[in-house]
Amino acid sequence: QSALTQPASVTGSPGQSITISCTGTSSDVGGYNYVAWYQQHPGKAPKLMIYDVSDRPSGVSNRFSGSKSGNTASLTISGLQAEDEADYYCSSYTSSRIVVFGTGTKVAVL
């Protein structure tokens, strides 16, 4: 039941694309298509950005996209904007029937 591994920080310039990785095992990320991504601004509740690896909830910008290869999932933010500066967390359903979150990534926009 270890946390999924994410980079501590990712930095990009406005308009650029960045990708955040989320590495797990065959018992979580690699074994199920139940990976989600959340955005959290300081002092706020998390917001669902991607579910089921690559699906976007209604109202979420199409600049956000998700994918998975093996035991690693990825979130890509294209056309980076100042408002995208936030913490991002991945999560995955696991073989233990619980959910595990990633360690979190702070995105900075230069």
Q: Binding of another protein at residue 51 (CB under 8 A)?
A: yes
**Shortest approach of another protein to residue 97 CB, angstroms?**
5
What are the tokens at 72?
A: 């690693």
Let me know: does 92 contact 24? Beta carbons within 8 Å.
Answer: yes
What are the tokens at 77?
A: 């933010």
**Shortest approach of another protein to residue 14 CB, angstroms?**
26
Query: Which region, left, alpha or beta, applies to residue 87 given φ > 0 means left and ψ of -120 to 50 means alpha?
Result: beta
Q: Binding of another protein at residue 45 (CB under 8 A)?
A: yes
Residues in the chain: 110
Q: Residues 6 or more apart from 12 whose CB is under 8 A from it? A: 18, 77, 80, 107, 108, 109, 110
Q: Which window, 14-22, 39-47, 61-69, 73-81, contacts another protein (CB under 8 A)? A: 39-47
Residue closer to another protein by CB (options 51, 64) is 51
Binding string, residues 57-76; x marks residues near another protein by CB under 8 A:
x-------------------
- Interface pick for another protein out of 21, 46, 61, 63 (rule CB under 8 A): 46
